[in-house]
Every structure is written in structure tokens, then in C-alpha cells.
């Protein structure tokens, strides 16, 4: 079976089309700080508007624990979506209640409404199939068809992602199709040299990806908080840096496997070590095998890869034909510890081939550091979904749309 597309739904003029987007954007006191996911939803929404559909946008935002919470309202997202579409977008103050029904009943052809946060309803994420299905039935009664376009949630068996796609005629939107196209290019005969750059805080979050990609890549570059478990696995002392002792044996196994396969697994040769987790903390650059030889001793924290490592990583990236990057190289939110991430991002913009930023913190980092999206081959909207795809896992939100 192949992924069902919007065209499979037939003429949509006058039909009520529920669009499951991923509008889970970061908010600061009700203000959107990164609208990348809102922008990513535009191609599908514009396509449906141009066809004269009555467009009903649904999404989650944050983790409000199944009850209404004003801090997680989608109202600011609806307002921003209207600005980007260049036309008014309605907003319902609930998801399947009176406000939602009134808003949907009042839709004209080509109009758009955003319903309130799906996760204000406990049924959206319930582990009980019957409870989840009941909520999906309520949601489904508002529409005629479903276009599933929230790639960031396709790894979740949730009401609006999975059950609703069984209840209504359903198809994938343009964003999901684009994400899948890129991910398949990363897993099915990628152009060589193929480099994967992994960072972020926990090595345990990336073990599945490492295991699945080691047979496929030429180079694997490791940074971020997860690198200290690798350094410790090599016998280095890492001070008070983030460390997962229970993963040391697994990491040693991957180091051995990389050597056996001829994969260039590159670890930093220098580290930025700080006295404390703070932007104004005293910090020094030291060799990766001398973290505890700094003035901070065993209390020192590694918070970024060093400049020599960043340059070495950049050289590998620039010489690659395919690059996938997931996870910052350091605590990029704090200026003294952002240079490793900045250097890696800059190198991806210079790679002569496909460069993919794997969503989540990596996407936030490139935008925070001032890089335009169009400087990269692709910026994924789904960090967790992208990683699970690259691990070879089954994604229920895609399988229900016909993808295998």
C-alpha cells in the first residue's frame, strides 16, 4: 500500500475537512517564539482553501493533562495563522463542544477555523482504546474527511492521529508527504559520504538511531550532553557533566561496532567546561580527556564542544553529500555555549548535497541562532517522529494512512 494523498479524497469544494496539524509551538507569556510549525502547515491549508473546502484545523499544544488550561490555548496560534494566510481565521473555545459546533456550522467555502487544544480533552491521549475512540467519534462528527498533516505526532497512537483516520475518509497532507520523501532519502540509498550528527542531552534517546544507522553511514559525529557518556565509555573522567552510567556498556558496544564497520565515529577532542550552569559562569576550553584538570576539578560541567572539535565536525559535514543532524552540540540557549551548535549549523548550509535538520531542539537552535530555514535542504517538524522513523519503528499515524 502507498500513502493516500489529498487527491484520493476527491473534490473537496463545500466539504468539511478536518486537518490534523502539529501547531505545538513554543510560547512565552502567550507570544509565539518560533512559528516554524505554523508556517509548515501553510501549503496544505492553502491547497484546501483554494479548493473551496471548509477547513477545520485541530492540534495539540503542550501537555495540559486532559483539562482546559489557558496557558496552552491555541488562540495565539489561530491569530498567527490568520496573519500568514492573509485572511481571517476563526477560533473555537472548545474542541467538540458548543463553540466548536457553532464555528463549524458557520463556515463558508474556503474559510478556516482553529479548534481549541485537543489535549484539553483526556480522550485525545488516553491509553484506553474505547475512551480514545469515543473522543475521535465526537471529533469526527464535525467533519466529512480528514487530512492528517501533523508529522510531529505520527508516532503517537492518539485519537486525532490514529482513530479519527479510521473513522473518516483520510489522507496525508503535503507536509507529511514531504517529510517522508526526505526521510526515505536518508534511509534508502543515501548519497555518500553520508554523515549523521547527533547531540542533545541524553544518549538513551538516540541509541535506537545509532544502532539502526551505523550500517548505513560513513561518519557519525557525537556532541551535546550525550557525548559525556561516550567519553566516559572510553575511560575519561567527565566531572559533573551529564552522564548515564547505565548506558556505558551499550555505548562501548557501538564504539566497537563502528570500528568494525569502518564508520568514522567522531568524538570531540576539546570541551567547553564551566563552573556552573549559567551564562555568566566562568568557563574554559580543555582537552576532552582532561575535563577534571580545569580549575573547577570534578565539579566542572561540560556545556559545549570546543572550537577545534567544532571545526573538525564542520569539515566532515561540508565534505558530505548527505547530512542528518539531530540535537544541539551544547547549551545553545546560553551565549557562551552556543558556538559549537552555530558552527555545525553553518556547515550544514555549506554542504554540497542534502542537509536535514531533524526537528525539535535542532530546529529551535538554528532559528534562535539566526539561520533562515531556506538555507537548509529540509528542517523537519517532527523530532521524535523523525528519530523513530530512522530507528525503523512502526509509526501508527502513517500506517493508518496506508504507508508501509
Q: Which of 15, 37, 133, 367 is catalytic?
A: 37
175 is in an annotated binding site: no
How buried is residue 190: exposed, middle or buried, by Cβ count under 10 Å (0-12/13-18/19+)? buried
- Asked about 37 being catalytic, the answer comes back as yes
Distances (CA, A) of 384 to 30, 106, 206, 273: 25, 36, 10, 29
- Asked about 360 being catalytic, the answer comes back as yes
Give yes or no for a cis peptide into 193 (omega within 30° of 0): yes
27 is in an annotated binding site: no
Q: Give 3-state DSSP helix, strand, coil % of the chain, rounded to 5.
A: 45, 15, 40
Give Dmax (Cα) for the chain.
70
156 is in an annotated binding site: yes
- Asked about 80 being catalytic, the answer comes back as no
24 is in an annotated binding site: yes
378 is in an annotated binding site: no
119 is in an annotated binding site: yes
235 is in an annotated binding site: no
- Asked about 54 being catalytic, the answer comes back as no
Q: Which of 101, 202, 318, 321 is catalytic?
A: 202
Instruction: Point out which residues pair with 177 in neighbouring strands.
Output: none
HEC letters along 237-300: CCCCCCCCHHHHHHHHHHHHHHHHHCCEEECCCEEEEECCCCCCCCEEEEECCCHHHCCCHHHC
4 is in an annotated binding site: no
Within 13 Å, how many C-alpha atoms sit on residue 332's CB side? 25
Question: Please, which residues have CB within 8 angstroms of residue 181's CB and are 6 or more apart in sequence?
Answer: none
164 is in an annotated binding site: no
127 is in an annotated binding site: no
Q: Which of 360, 382, 383, 397 is catalytic?
A: 360
270 is in an annotated binding site: no
Residue whose C-alpha is closest to residue 143's, from 14, 13, 15, 12: 15
Q: Which of 66, 353, 384, 402 is catalytic?
A: 384
37 is in an annotated binding site: yes
Alpha carbons 344 and 323: distance in angstroms, whole number: 11
60 is in an annotated binding site: yes
Tell me if 230 sits within 8 A of 222, measured CB to CB.
yes
Binding residues: 22-24, 37, 60-63, 119, 156, 206, 302, 333, 359-362
Question: Which sequence positions are flagged as catalytic?
Answer: 37, 202, 360, 384
Binding residues for (2R)-3-phosphoglycerate: 37, 119, 156
Binding residues for substrate: 22-24, 37, 60-63, 119, 156
Binding residues for ATP: 206, 302, 333, 359-362
Amino acid at each position: 500500500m502507498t500513502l493516500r494523498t489529498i487527491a484520493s479524497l476527491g473534490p473537496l469544494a463545500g466539504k468539511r475537512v478536518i486537518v490534523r496539524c502539529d501547531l505545538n509551538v513554543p510560547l512565552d507569556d502567550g507570544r509565539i517564539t518560533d512559528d516554524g510549525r505554523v508556517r509548515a502547515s501553510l501549503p496544505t491549508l492553502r491547497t484546501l482553501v483554494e479548493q473551496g473546502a471548509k477547513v477545520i484545523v485541530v492540534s495539540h499544544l503542550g501537555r495540559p493533562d486532559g483539562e482546559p488550561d489557558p496557558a496552552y490555548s491555541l488562540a495565539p496560534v489561530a491569530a498567527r495563522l490568520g496573519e500568514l494566510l492573509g485572511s481571517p481565521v476563526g477560533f473555537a473555545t472548545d474542541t467538540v463542544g458548543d463553540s466548536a459546533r457553532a464555528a463549524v456550522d458557520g463556515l463558508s467555502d474556503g474559510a478556516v477555523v482553529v479548534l481549541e487544544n485537543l489535549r484539553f480533552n483526556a480522550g485525545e491521549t488516553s491509553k484506553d482504546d474505547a475512551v480514545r475512540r469515543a473522543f475521535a467519534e465526537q471529533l469526527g462528527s464535525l467533519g466529512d474527511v480528514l487530512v492528517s498533516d501533523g508529522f510531529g505526532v505520527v508516532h503517537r497512537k492518539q485519537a486525532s492521529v490514529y482513530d479519527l483516520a479510521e473513522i473518516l475518509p483520510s489522507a496525508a497532507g503535503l507536509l507529511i508527504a514531504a517529510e517522508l520523501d526526505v526521510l526515505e532519502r536518508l534511509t534508502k540509498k543515501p548519497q555518500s559520504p553520508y554523515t549523521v550528527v547527533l547531540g542533545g542531552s541524553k544518549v538513551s534517546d538516540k541509541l535506537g538511531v545509532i544502532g539502526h544507522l551505523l550500517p548505513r553511514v560513513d561518519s557519525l559525529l557525537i556532541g551535546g550532553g550525550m557525548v559525556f557518556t561516550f567519553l566516559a565509555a572510553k575511560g575519561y573522567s567527565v566531572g559533573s557533566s551529564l552522564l548515564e552510567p547505565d548506558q556505558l556498556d551499550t555505548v562501548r558496544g557501538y564504539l566497537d561496532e563502528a570500528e568494525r564497520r569502518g564508520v568514522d565515529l567522531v568524538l570531540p577532542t576539546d570541551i567547553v567546561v564551566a563552573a556552573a550552569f549559567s551564562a555568566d559562569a566562568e568557563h574554559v576550553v580543555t582537552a576532552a580527556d582532561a575535563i577534571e584538570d580545569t580549575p573547577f576539578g570534578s565539579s566542572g560541567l561540560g556545556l559545549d564542544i570546543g572550537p577545534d572539535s567544532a571545526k573538525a565536525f564542520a569539515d566532515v559535514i561540508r565534505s558530505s553529500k548527505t547530512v542528518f543532524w539531530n540535537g544541539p552540540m551544547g547549551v545553545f540557549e546560553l551565549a557562551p555555549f552556543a558556538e559549537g551548535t552555530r558552527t555545525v549549523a553553518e556547515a550544514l548550509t555549506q554542504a554540497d548535497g542534502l542537509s536535514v535538520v531533524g526537528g525539535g531542539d535542532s530546529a529551535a537552535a538554528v532559528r534562535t541562532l539566526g539561520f533562515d530555514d531556506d538555507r537548509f535542504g529540509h528542517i523537519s517538524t517532527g523530532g521524535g517522529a523523525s528519530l523513530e522513523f530512522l530507528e525503523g519503528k512502526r509509526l501508527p499515524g502513517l500506517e493508518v494512512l496506508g504507508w508501509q
